[in-house]
Amino acid sequence: MGLYALVALKGFKVKNLCRSGEIALVAIAAFLLNGLPALAHHPLGGKTPSNFIEGLLSGLGHPVIGLDHLVFVIASGLLAAAIGRNLIIPVAFVLASLLGTGIHLMSIDLPLPELVISASVLVFGVLLALKERPNSTIITGLAAISGLFHGFAYGESIFGAEMGPLMAYLLGFASIQLAIATAAYGMGSRLFQQSPESSALRFAGFIICGVGGTFLSTLMMDYVLLA
């Protein structure tokens, strides 16, 4: 009787943990969908950071208040958990985003960065929603390419700043992205261990698809109307 009760208690805990993870994903989904209209990308209201603190705050804020960037970072962490490749995917993305910012600061243009950024969110949502995912090397390469464009967009907020604020900005946005991706990876890993079929992660993928698709379709409509 005692053994039966112990097994039942463990089952109850696992069930509740799975349910808690699903509730967390639903809460995240509600936040993301509710925040779709807000496309702000400048923590300082568009002002170029003039000192170390402003640069750091701008770097910390940019990937968070830019919903397309935030969703992609979360997706990279969840996808890393789903394929079991530790943090190599988000790390590749963050390193490439640093390079992308450098490209912007060198006044080198990348084609249609906002469209590519929105498309990257959609693609990573699709990858997360799939039952059978591509080779991890392919996904890591896609993360790096996406990072170039996300980083290029980050460069707009720091263009023209002095070296001190610039270094603080790079430190800020690299740190916050790794922190968010690590948190997403941790949650995704727990959900995957509790449910190897990763239904909760696939659900998150569908939500991310919706966010990316909304951004992409909105931008394409803008391009058509302005053409």
User: Quick one: pLDDT at residue 198?
Assistant: 65
More confident residue, 149 or 161: 149
| Extents of the domains making up the chain | 48-226
- C-alpha closest to that of 140 among 224, 64, 84: 84
For residue 212, give the H/E element and its range: helix 199-226
* Out of 27-36, 87-96, 209-218, least confident range: 27-36
Structure tokens at 14: 């696992």
Q: Is 64 exposed, middle or buried (0-12, 13-18, 19+ CB in 10 A)?
A: middle
More confident residue, 9 or 71: 71
Under 8 Å between Cβ of 177 and 73: yes
Three-state DSSP class for residue 36: coil
Residue written as tokens 């992205």? 177
- C-alpha closest to that of 96 among 143, 165, 41, 166: 143
More confident residue, 197 or 150: 150
Q: Phi and psi of 133, rounded to 5°?
A: -100, 155
Residue 26 is which amino acid? V
User: Quick one: pLDDT at residue 73?
Assistant: 96
Under 8 Å between Cβ of 151 and 160: no
Report residue 46's pLDDT band, with 50, 70 and 90 as the boundaries. low
User: Quick one: pLDDT at residue 127?
Assistant: 95
CA distance 21 to 168: 34
User: Quick one: pLDDT at residue 44?
Assistant: 62
Averaged pLDDT score across all residues of the chain: 81
Query: For the whole model, what pTM was predicted?
Result: 0.81
* Chain-centroid distance, C-alpha 47: 24
CA distance 211 to 75: 11
Structure tokens at 60: 């910390």
* Out of 32-36, 54-58, 121-125, least confident range: 32-36
Q: Does the pLDDT value for residue 28 go beyond 60?
A: no
Report residue 150's pLDDT band, with 50, 70 and 90 as the boundaries. very high
- C-alpha closest to that of 49 among 175, 171, 176: 171
Under 8 Å between Cβ of 59 and 170: yes
